[in-house]
Amino acid sequence: MVRGQLTENINKIAKKHIGREITQEELRLIPYIQYIMVNEQKIDPRRINADDRVIIEKWKQKGYMDGTKPRLTITKEFWNFMCDILFESYVLNAHEDVK
């Protein structure tokens, strides 16, 4: 299994947390958002593309995050979603690659 690859298990996690499947583009954006939240809490516009901006705007509209304050904020539920997705897609799959 390739790390960061969208799988059925990842979409099961997504459905559990946000009620829908996610796209490969969303999956690839999640590590960056997680990094931002544990560091400066500001998105560097030079590090995201137009597709990422659309995804982030959709997440804001759903109430998962708020970028209107000086720093980006996210809900605890969205944080848990990201952590579960990252564990499944990068941590577990990394161990499978070693086998």
User: For residue range 10-47, what is the model confidence (pLDDT) as tens digits?
Assistant: 999 999 999 999 999 999 999 999 999 999 999 999 99
Residue 79's pLDDT is: 98
**Domain membership flag for residue 3:** no
pTM metric for this prediction: 0.88
CATH number at residue 23: 1.10.10
Mean pLDDT (the chain) is: 90
**Domain membership flag for residue 36:** yes
Q: How many domains does the chain have?
A: 1
Residue 76 CA to residue 6 CA, distance in Å, equals 23
Residue 77's pLDDT is: 97
DSSP class of 45: G
Residue 36 CA to residue 39 CA, distance in Å, equals 5
Domain encompassing residue 67: 8-98
Under the banding of pLDDT at 50, 70 and 90, the label for residue 97 is very low
pLDDT higher at 81 or 45: 81
**Domain membership flag for residue 2:** no
